[in-house]
Structures are given as structure tokens and as C-alpha cells.
Structure 1
């Protein structure tokens, strides 16, 4: 990657990925875009609606982008509440990204999700290749996106790459309407209020990953030798599987009086129950060396430090080496 265009740069992933990319490749070589005006001073930035194909292409061409990291999307719970808008943004935006990459001969990364697996897929150590029958619009979008990226690779030779992310936990940007957002909220509520009311039921296991690991996985995949990439558009990646009680138990190691209550959201609970409990990441490990650094214990320690306004501990893995 030399000049990188990032869509959805102010979202949960982009907020941490863009600064990391700029530290590696240089500020002027990373063009951040989002549909909103920038909320702070930063490097090169363009306000961009990804559903506008001409504007998408013109922006990438103007900056000479040879890599496009297409992050703009409507997430699971929001997509379920407005499925037509989700299709327009998630599929229309991706198609515009693919066409731009094809015309400019650029690499393209776009994230997929555990949402591609419906209730018929194996729940434990869900395989890299298995049945995909999602029951949400978000999941349908992501399955279609994986297939569309594979089509552009096979038909046009576009260097498309992608990761099936689990729930991503970050202290930098607020959650964006995903089913797994409770695993971010719980840390801030713990640090600031000493308790949390979960909309996901006890015993509901989902996979999670701390954002520094997710950011490094994107960069590592994009820099990987293409000759070794077999499942290039849909690698399972994860770091841990947990339910609300496990997160609470780790939090209580730091805040012994932490209180966890439940008010289950039927929509989000239904979505969560359709997803895997854990993923098999063997393909990512073997094909490009994927290895997460953060455990639940280390992630909890950092998240509570940031949520409480403190600097995180300096010892242990930081997840920020190239």
C-alpha cells in the first residue's frame, strides 16, 4: 500500500485504523473520508457519500489511491431496523468501491462479519467454509459482499481482501449500532457508574476482538503475499469468546462491587443467538500468520483504564507493531 483511501473513517474501525496507517505510511498517503464533516483537525480528509459512484471514483483518482479500505456500512441492529437503507449503503457503496478499484487497478479491503453465519451454521469453532444462511439484512449484505468481492477478483483480477470480524471492542469511538456494542458499553458503565444493564442475556456467547488486534489484522492482510491467499475475501478472525457474565467477572477483578443487571432487547438478542459462539481461525493463521495479542484479561485492564480516564498500563502487549 502506498496511497490509501479509507471510507467510513470516523466509524469504530476507521477512528483507530486511520491514525495507525498514517504512522506507518505517512500522513499525506492516507486519505480519510466519511459522510460527515471532520470532527477535529486531521490529515487529508474528504467528505464523501459512498453511494455516489462518480464522487467515489473522482476522489480516489484525484489522490492516486492504489489501495481502498472500504469501511462505510450500516451495522447489524440499525440495518435490521431499516433494511432498505442498509441495502443501499452496504451493497451500493461496496459496488462503487469495487468499480473504483477495478478502474484504478487498486487493492480493495472490506470487512465482513460473523453475521454471515445464520442459525444453521455450527455454533462452536464455526469453520472457515460452512453453510451461510443469515437471518438478518446485515448478514445477507455481508454474504453478498463476500461473493461480490470474489466475483471481482475472479472476473476482473481486482485484488480484493476481507476479514470476518467478530464484535470489536474499542475505547476510541462510540459504538455504531451493532449487536455486540454492549461489550464496549459495559466497560464505560463499570468505570463511571459501577454497574451496567445488559441488553444481551447471560449465557449468550459471541466472539470478540480488541480493536488494536483488528487494526493490525487489516494491515497484515493487506501487506500479505497474494500468492498465499486462498480464502482472500472472508477470513475468520477472533481473539476470545465470552458472554456478559464473563466480562463482568473480569471487570470485578478491578471493580469488586460491579453490578450487572439485564434488560434484554428482543431484536439484538435474536440476532446474537443466530451467530456463532466461537470461530475457527485456522485459515487466517496458516495463510498469512494471523495471531491476536490481547486476551480478555489484558483487554479489560486497558478498557477500564481508558474508560476511567487513566493511561493504560505499559507492560504487556500493545497490539501496535506493524
Structure 2
């Protein structure tokens, strides 16, 4: 990667990934784009352009102007939001992906887009879900992700486009607030622990889903994009994970640091139904074998860092 164009750069992954890429490759080498400018730090720390990913012509002209050789396409509606607005999700998630693939094909860019455990469905094996298995999701987000995986495979086999991708589990971060995902409870619980000392989970106890701390997710993207292409058999949909947890497990981990923390439940039937259609745990051995993936944070290590970071931010805010 030499000149990298990032779409959806102000989202949960994008805002942190852009900062990391600029540290590695240089501020002038990473062009951040999003549909609007919200004044985030990354809009000032390097090149930033407003871009609607459903406008393929504008995307092409922007990539060509900046002489991009790498496209990291992150712009998308997340699971819960996509289920509320399925047609918008299809038009944005699939229309934007096709445009990004076409621009990459025309300009010869290396290409990355994330998939998700949402690509699995209720008929997928629940435990230690294989890399290659049945995928019949029952949500629009899941349909988008399976379609995206297949489309990226098609562009690789049909055009030789260097497409790469990761099936992310729930991502947990202290930097960017949740953005409409089913796994967002696992982010909200830490914010609530620091601010209120208690949390009402919209996902029920005993509902296991895979999670990963954001630093591990960012490292995985860079590592995959820098990996030897000849060793990649799966390319576009690598299972990755760091932990399989339910709300009770996260609560127990928090109480090791904050013994008075209280977990309650106000289950959201819609998001609970989505969660129940996803795996309890997934097998990431293909990613480990083909490009050396290994997470650094387990649940307790992540909890300690999340609470420390959020507590520090809270203290700074009070002083301000």
C-alpha cells in the first residue's frame, strides 16, 4: 500500500484505521472520505474529501485525482440500522461496493472491504463455525455481506483484482461510539460502567457472540493487506476472533475492576433475534494459517484497557 483511499472513514472502524494508516504510511498517503465532514480529527490530520459512495463517477474521479493504488471500502449501514431500512441498506451497501470494486478494477487498486459474522445465519453451525460453511442469513445486513463476499471473489477470479477481506466479529472500542450494530451492547456496557456504574443490556444473558478489541482489528487489516498474495486461499472472508462472550461474562470481567458494577436486562426483541441467528463462536484457523493472524487481547486484558481509557477520558472531560 502506497496511496490509500478510505471510504466511510468517519465510522467506527474508519476513524481509527485512518489514524493508524497515517502513522504507518504517512499523513499524505491516506485520503479519508465520508458522506459528510463532522469535524473529526482525521479530517484535519491529512487529506479529507466528502464522497457519496453511491456516486461511482465521483469515486472514480477522486481515486484518480489522488493516484490511489489501494481502496479500503468501509462505507455501510450496520446490522440493526440495515434491518430498519432494508432498501437503503441494499442501495448503499451493495451499490457502494460495486462502485468501489469497479473503480479499483479500472485503476488497478488493491482492494479491501470487511465482511461480518452477520454473513452467517440460523442454519450455520453455531459452535466453532468453520471458515467454509453454509451461509443463509435472515437479515438484510447478512444478505449484503454474503453478496459482498461472493462479489469480491468474482472480481478476483474474473478480473484478477487483488481483493481481500475479513469477517469481523463485534468490535469494541473506546474511541468511537457505537453505530447501530447488534453487538453494540458490548461497547455500551463499558461506557455505562464508567459513567453510571450499571447497564441494562438489550441482548439477553447466555447469548454468546464473538468479539474483538479494536487494536486487534486494525492490526488484522494491515497484516492481511501486507500479506503474501500467493499464500491467500480464501482472500475475501477470513474468520477472525479474539473471544466468545455473553453479557454475563463481560459483566464479570468488569466487576474484577469495578466490584459494584450492576448488570440488568432490557432485551430488544429485534436485536436479540439477530444475535440468535449468529454463531456462538467461530474458527479463525484459516486466517492464522494463511497470514499469521493472532489476537493480542483476551476479555480481561480488553476490559482493563477499556475501563482505564474511558475513565481517563471522563476525568479529562470533568476538568475541562
Calculate the TM-score normalised by the size of structure 1. Answer: 0.96
Which of 117, 120, 129 aligns to 1:117? It is: 120
- Give distance in 2, aligned partners of 1:31 and 1:167: 26
Match of 2:37 in 1: 37
1:181 paired with 2:187, answer no
Match of 1:276 in 2: 279
- Give distance in 1, aligned partners of 2:111 and 2:268: 35
- Give distance in 1, aligned partners of 2:276 and 2:77: 20
Match of 2:305 in 1: 302
| Superposed displacement of residue 97, structure 1 | 0.3
| Superposed displacement of residue 301, structure 1 | 0.5
Q: Deviations over 1:44-89 (max 9, x none)?
A: 0000000000011111110010000000000000000000000001
RMSD: 0.9
- Give distance in 2, aligned partners of 1:274 and 1:13: 24
| Superposed displacement of residue 238, structure 1 | 0.4
| Superposed displacement of residue 110, structure 1 | 0.1
The answer (yes or no) to whether the contact 1:162–1:232 under 8 Å persists in 2 is yes
- Give distance in 2, aligned partners of 1:195 and 1:49: 39
- Give distance in 1, aligned partners of 2:34 and 2:301: 31
1:68 paired with 2:64, answer no
- Give distance in 1, aligned partners of 2:38 and 2:101: 25
Match of 2:99 in 1: 96
Match of 2:17 in 1: 17
- Give distance in 1, aligned partners of 2:173 and 2:7: 18
For residues 283-298 of structure 1, the aligned pairs below 5 Å read: 283-298=286-301
- Give distance in 2, aligned partners of 1:269 and 1:192: 25
| Superposed displacement of residue 42, structure 1 | 2.4
- Give distance in 1, aligned partners of 2:102 and 2:38: 26
Q: Give the 3-state SS of the residue equivalent to 2:53 in structure 1.
A: coil
Which of 83, 92, 113 aligns to 1:80? It is: 83
Residue ranges of structure 1 left out of the alignment (5+ in a row): 312-322
Match of 1:151 in 2: 154
Higher helix share: 2
* Structure 1 pair 101–192 and aligned structure 2 pair: CA distance change class (3 A): same
- Give distance in 1, aligned partners of 2:49 and 2:59: 10
Q: Deviations over 1:236-266 (max 9, x none)?
A: 0000000000000000011101011001000
Residue ranges of structure 2 left out of the alignment (5+ in a row): 315-320
Match of 2:193 in 1: 190
Which of 212, 216, 230 aligns to 2:215? It is: 212
Match of 1:317 in 2: none
Match of 1:252 in 2: 255
1:129 paired with 2:146, answer no
Q: Deviations over 1:186-226 (max 9, x none)?
A: 00100110000000000000000000000000000000010
The answer (yes or no) to whether the contact 1:199–1:269 under 8 Å persists in 2 is yes
Q: Give the 3-state SS of the residue equivalent to 1:253 in structure 2.
A: helix
Q: Tell me the number of residue pairs that the alignment of Structure 1 and Structure 2 aligns.
A: 311
The answer (yes or no) to whether the contact 1:56–1:97 under 8 Å persists in 2 is yes
| Superposed displacement of residue 309, structure 1 | 2.1
Match of 2:318 in 1: none
1:59 paired with 2:66, answer no
The answer (yes or no) to whether the contact 1:38–1:45 under 8 Å persists in 2 is no
Match of 2:52 in 1: 49
The answer (yes or no) to whether the contact 1:121–1:276 under 8 Å persists in 2 is yes
| Superposed displacement of residue 307, structure 1 | 1.6
* Structure 1 pair 310–79 and aligned structure 2 pair: CA distance change class (3 A): closer
Q: Give the 3-state SS of the residue equivalent to 2:263 in structure 1.
A: strand
